[in-house]
Structure 1
């Protein structure tokens, strides 16, 4: 196939656009922010679970504390009632019974006071643990939120650049013969590179030095004749930088 040297140069522009688009696709699939989000996802789940567990433990302890405090109020009320009854009692038997019950109530109150103190200490300890776990959860959630914002911004920038590249590509394709574009696309599907420049004696498609025999054959070909990279089959475009 033949193509004017200027058209071949435009193929290099098209190849550059396609290479940039390929890089955009690679970036979209391997965004550092997204990769970081994936890396911390298990840690996020673990910290959320730890915060939820600590909250459950704290609520259980608070509930137990309330039960103890409610029992203490009932005991205190019963003691007040018995003390009032004792002041009004006249029977020796009733007085003895009330005094015995007040002693039992006092022991029960002492037990409840000890339990309340211990439970208050436990609630304080669990509150501190819960606060610490919530802080750890918020720390990683803040990091995740920042990564999401930066990822979405980067994606938007990639989409904008991709649209610009699509416009550039259409302009280039519209200015080239259909057969030449078809050949370019066929070669690009085959090796990933549709067209490449011959720089010195090196094909920029393979980054390899072309052998002497192949280079001689390429040098003899007319300027408007399409030649190919011996290693990749990409269209090889000769320019002022080619050593032929």
Structure 2
């Protein structure tokens, strides 16, 4: 049985739903592949790595201070021990040896204290550097988190809308009175990769799908289409509601 032109206007509502469905799918794809969000996530990853590196530098500097302090205390303890031995007395040779050892330890202590001060300076510089950079790194992290949250929120809305539209499409398709015409509509809509407009209005000599204004001859031929035949645009092949 030939498709009935009387059912053709009913496809316009279905086409509207299908077009909105396609819009939600395309928008979801855009969001999922958005270069702006990807760039922010890359910046966030770099910020996280930089933050960890700063933490590692500060930790290493603090450990350096601790080690330098321990070295100074160790030498001071040795000096105190040798001074106690010196005060306890002994042979001239023993006392000269102790004094020489104390002098050596004092030189080591002075060098260790200088190293301790240098380690403290490095620790202060590392802490100050982290303090300066952390706000920028945290801002990059916050910006990326916000962008992802906004993207995910919109994706959730699109998913809800897609589910609603899918249910509406199923209802319209199930109640459509002409299965043959519906099949033809779906064939046109999904041809060449899908997403095509399959039905549109023909008004004032113009196709509502491709926007082509037909020549007088083509318009006359189209408007004279037999009732048993579904009118189609000669340019884009869409079914037309006259």
TM-score of the superposed pair, with normalisation by structure 1: 0.87
Matching of residue 231 in structure 1 with residue 230 in structure 2: no
- Aligned residue number for residue 189 of structure 2: 188
SS at 1:30's partner residue? helix
Any gaps of 5 or more consecutive residues in structure 2?
Answer: none
Once the two structures are superposed, residues 171-190 of structure 1 have per-residue CA deviations (whole angstroms, 9 ceiling, x without a partner) of 22123210010111111123
Structure 1 or 2: more strand by fraction? 1
Any gaps of 5 or more consecutive residues in structure 1?
Answer: 239-244
- Aligned residue number for residue 163 of structure 1: 163
- Aligned residue number for residue 205 of structure 2: 201
- Aligned residue number for residue 19 of structure 1: 19
- Aligned residue number for residue 241 of structure 1: none
Greater mean deviation of Cα atoms: 135-144 or 177-186: 135-144
| CA RMSD across the alignment | 2.2
SS at 1:198's partner residue? strand
CA distance, structure 1, for counterparts of residue 222 and residue 185 of structure 2? 18
- Aligned residue number for residue 242 of structure 1: none
- Aligned residue number for residue 43 of structure 2: 43
> 1:57, CA displacement in angstroms?
2.7
Matching of residue 148 in structure 1 with residue 151 in structure 2: no
Q: 1:197 touches 1:204 (CA, 8 Å); kept in 2? A: yes
Once the two structures are superposed, residues 179-205 of structure 1 have per-residue CA deviations (whole angstroms, 9 ceiling, x without a partner) of 010111111123611111113222121
> 1:73, CA displacement in angstroms?
0.8
CA distance, structure 1, for counterparts of residue 147 and residue 168 of structure 2? 31
> 1:90, CA displacement in angstroms?
4.3
- Aligned residue number for residue 61 of structure 1: 61
CA distance, structure 2, for counterparts of residue 121 and residue 83 of structure 1? 31
SS at 1:227's partner residue? coil
